[in-house]
Amino acid sequence: MISIGRRQRGTDLLQVGFVRKLQHKLFGQVWQWAGDFRRTVKNIGIDRLTISVRLRQLMLDAAYCVTNDTYLPLEVAARLHH
């Protein structure tokens, strides 16, 4: 289990800040940039200038699914991971 500070619950986990902190805790010893948004142009994925907006929208969509029981929890997790 990864300790990220105070105990997280519910849709608190679906916040951009939590995701960035989690990535830093998971990969900070592997990648110096873990938890930061990409600053360079790559030929795959979304444009670097839209990462923060798209991640926020993803978290809002997932939170909506959780609070409105749109899908089973396992399906929400699978969709979010994908």
Angle at 17 between CA 13 and CA 21, to 5 degrees: 85
Does some domain include residue 36? yes
Residue 19 maps to a domain:
yes
Mean pLDDT, residues 20-36: 95
Q: Is residue 2 part of a domain?
A: no
Q: Does a structural domain hold residue 4?
A: no
Give the domain extent around 76: 10-81
The tally of domains found in the chain comes to 1
Given this model, what pLDDT does residue 2 score? 43
The pLDDT score that the predictor gives to residue 81 is 87
User: Which of 5-9, 42-46, 55-59 has the highest mean predicted lDDT (pLDDT)?
Assistant: 55-59
Q: How far is CA 62 from CA 8, 31, 35, 41, 82, in A?
A: 16, 27, 20, 27, 12
Percent of the chain with pLDDT over 90: 62
In a domain, 53, yes or no: yes
pLDDT for 43-52, tens place per residue?
888 899 999 9
